[in-house]
Amino acid sequence: MAVTESGSKTLLALTSAAVALPGMAPVARADSPPEVTTLGYRYSLYREDDIEPGKLAAGVGERYEIDVHQLRLTTGLGDTWGLTVDYQHESLSGASPFGTSRGVDGNPQVVMTGASIEELRRDLNIGLRRYYDYSNAGISLGYSAEDDYTAYNLGADYQFSTEDRLNTFGLGVSISDDTLEPTQQSGFNRIKKDDKQSLTAVVNYTRVLSTVAQVQTALSLSRHSGFLSDPYKAVDVRPDERIAWAWTTQYRRYLKDWDAALHVDYRLYTDDWGIVSNTFDLAWYQNVDAGLRVAPSLRYYTQSQADFYFPTDNTTRQGYQSSDHRLSPFGALTTGIRVEAHAVNWKVVIAAERYIADGDLALGSVEVEHPALLGFSLVTLGMDYSF
Amino acid sequence: MKSVVASALMLALLGGCAEVKPWQRGELARSEMAFVPDAMEASLADHIYFSKEASSGGTSVGGGGCGCN
C-alpha cells in the first residue's frame, strides 16, 4: 500500500498518540518526556521458607518475611524534561544463616541467628531526563538507609538513535558508596564500621528487527571494592575487590494471531571470584480482552561456586573462605503469574511468584548441596493512576 | 561453545532485520512489548535476586547497594 506524505504524518501522529497512552510505556528509542503524570503503588509480601529441621544445627529456623511498599511518580517537565521519583519502604523480620557446621552424617548443617531480626529499609531514587530529537540523557541520585547500612548512588546515561530510529545505542555509568555498621553482637569476624564502593559501566544496543520484533543487548562491567565480606556470618573472609561482567540480551515479539507478546531474556555473568551464571527468562503476555492481560513467566538460573566457598566453616582455615549459600553452586527455578486490568488512566496489577533453589537444578553436578538454599514466595498487588 | 551458539542466534535475529517505518511501529509500542513492562516490579525482582544470588548486572545502570542478607 502506498502511503502519501500527509498520510504518513497522520499515521505517525497516531503512533505517537498510542505511545503516549497511559500504561503504554515508551520504548527506549522514543525521545520525548511522559505526556501524562503517573502515580504507581505496589505492595509486596516476600516470605522465605523455613529451614528444614534436619538441616538446622542451631538457631531459629524461621527465615525472612518482608513487607515492601513501593511508590513511583513519573511526569514530564515542559516539553523536554522528564522526572521519575521512586520510594521503597521495607520492613523485615526473621532469622538468617549465621554459618555452617558438619552434621553427624557428614553433611553440612546450617546455624541460624538465635533470634528474629527486625529491620527497616528506606530507599529513595530520583531521576531526571532531558529529551532531544534523537537522543536522551539522564541522571539519577539514590539513597538507601537501614539501621546498619547506608548507601548513596549516582548514575548517568545517554541514549541516541539513528535517523531511521531502527538502532539505539546507549551507555551509562553509576557509582555507589556504601557504609556498613553492624548492630548485632560481636562475632568472630565482626567489624564496627567499614565501607565499600561500586562502579558500573554499561553499553547497550537496541535494534528494531521488524514491525513486530525488537532486541536489546547490553554489556556491563562492575568493580566492587572495600569490605565485601558478610559481617553477619560466623566466618566470612572475602577478597576486597570483585570484577564482574554481565552480558544480557532481551528479545520481544508480538504475535498478532494470538494478540500476545513473547519475552525471551538471557544473561551470562562471570566474575573474578570464580562465579559463572546463566539466567534464562521466558514470559508470555496474553491479552484476554482490551482491558485484561495475563502473563505467566518462567525463570531458570544456575551458578557455579566461588573459588573460596567451603560447605562448612573452619576457624583455623587460612586465607579467603565463605560458607554463604549465595556463593555455593546451585540452580533455581521461578514460576510466576501476573494479571493486569487496565483502562485509559488506571491499571491494577496482581502477581505471584514461587522460587526454589536446589543443587539438583544446577547445570553442573553439585557434590555437596548447601543446607540453606532458598525457597520463597512473592505476592504483589498494585495500581497505577495517570492524569 | 555457548558463545558460538549465542552469536549464531544473534546473527539469525539481526539477519531478519527489515526496514520499519515510524507508522509501522504500533505493535512495537504496545506496553506488553516493552523491555521493562513494569518498572516497580522489575526493580523489586532485581533487588531480590541481587540479594539472594551471586550475580548482578543488566541492561541499565542505577540503584545502590544494600545490607540485604
- Per-residue pLDDT of A128-167, as tens digits, reads 999 999 999 999 999 999 988 999 999 999 999 999 999 9
- Between CA A378 and CA A50 the distance in angstroms is 15
- Per-residue pLDDT of A198-242, as tens digits, reads 999 999 999 999 999 999 999 999 999 999 999 888 889 999 999
Best of A6, A14, A15 to disrupt the B interface (most B CBs within 10 Å) is A15
Predicted confidence band of residue A23 (pLDDT cuts 50, 70, 90):
very low
Asked if residue A2 has pLDDT above 60, the reply is: no
CB pairs under 8 A between A and B: 246
Domain range annotation of chain A:
5-386
Interchain CB distance below 8 Å, A144 and B17 = no
At B27 the pLDDT is: 93
Asked if residue A20 has pLDDT above 80, the reply is: no
Q: Residue A205's closest chain B neighbor by CA?
A: B59
Asked if residue A8 has pLDDT above 50, the reply is: no
- Per-residue pLDDT of A108-125, as tens digits, reads 999 988 777 888 999 999
**Which of B 9-68 lie inside 8 A of A, CB atoms?**
10, 13-14, 16-41, 43-44, 48-49, 52-68
Q: Looking at the partner chain, which of B19, B44, B59 has a beta carbon nearest the beta carbon of A44?
A: B44
Instruction: Work out the percent of chain A whose per-residue pLDDT is above 70.
Output: 90
A52 versus A42: which is more confidently predicted? A42
- Per-residue pLDDT of A319-367, as tens digits, reads 999 999 999 999 999 999 999 999 989 999 999 999 999 999 999 889 8
Interchain CB distance below 8 Å, A198 and B65 = yes
Contact list, A68 vs chain B (CB under 8 Å) = 44
Interchain CB distance below 8 Å, B57 and A267 = yes
Contact list, A151 vs chain B (CB under 8 Å) = 64-66
B14 versus A57: which is more confidently predicted? A57
The answer to whether A152 and A132 are in contact (CB under 8 A) is no
- Between CA A86 and CA A190 the distance in angstroms is 33
Asked if residue A17 has pLDDT above 70, the reply is: no
Rounded to two decimals, the pTM is 0.88
Number of separate helices (H) and strands (E) present in chain B = 2, 0
At B64 the pLDDT is: 62
- Containing A385, the helix (H) or strand (E) segment is strand A375-386
Instruction: Work out the percent of chain B whose per-residue pLDDT is above 70.
Output: 64
Nearest to A247 by CA among A221, A275, A272: A221
The answer to whether A84 and A71 are in contact (CB under 8 A) is no
A10 versus B59: which is more confidently predicted? B59
Q: Residue A348's closest chain B neighbor by CA?
A: B38
At A267 the pLDDT is: 97
Residues 6+ positions from B56 with CB-CB distance below 8 Å: A222, A244, A246, A269, B46, B49, B50
> For chain A, what is the mean pLDDT?
89
At A326, list the grid cell.
549465595
At A334, list the grid cell.
521461578
Tell me how close the Cα of A183 comes to any Cα of chain B, in angstroms: 12
Interchain CB distance below 8 Å, A209 and B16 = yes
Predicted confidence band of residue A374 (pLDDT cuts 50, 70, 90):
very high
Asked if residue B50 has pLDDT above 80, the reply is: yes
Ranges A25-34, A40-49, A359-368: which has the least confidence: A25-34
3-class SS string, A148-188: CEEEEEEEEEEEEECCCCCEEEEEEEEEEEEEECCCCCCCC
Q: Looking at the partner chain, which of A11, A26, A303 has a beta carbon nearest the beta carbon of B23?
A: A11
- Between CA B28 and CA A17 the distance in angstroms is 13
Interchain CB distance below 8 Å, B61 and A19 = no
Best of B13, B25, B46, B68 to disrupt the A interface (most A CBs within 10 Å) is B25
Asked if residue A21 has pLDDT above 80, the reply is: no
End-to-end CA distance of chain A: 37
- Per-residue pLDDT of A57-91, as tens digits, reads 888 889 999 999 999 999 999 999 999 999 999 99
Asked if residue A373 has pLDDT above 70, the reply is: yes
**Which of A 175-204 lie inside 8 A of B, CB atoms?**
176, 178, 180, 196, 198, 200-202, 204
Amino acid found at A321: Q
Predicted confidence band of residue B13 (pLDDT cuts 50, 70, 90):
low
DSSP character string of A93-117: EE--EEEEEE-TTSSEEEEEPSS-E
Interchain CB distance below 8 Å, B27 and A216 = no
Predicted confidence band of residue A269 (pLDDT cuts 50, 70, 90):
very high
Mean pLDDT, range A274-298, rounded to an integer:
97
Tell me how close the Cα of A374 comes to any Cα of chain B, in angstroms: 8
For the four alpha carbons of A195, A225, A89 and B61, in that order, the dihedral sign comes to: positive
CATH code reported for the domain at A5-386: 2.40.160.40
Asked if residue A26 has pLDDT above 80, the reply is: no
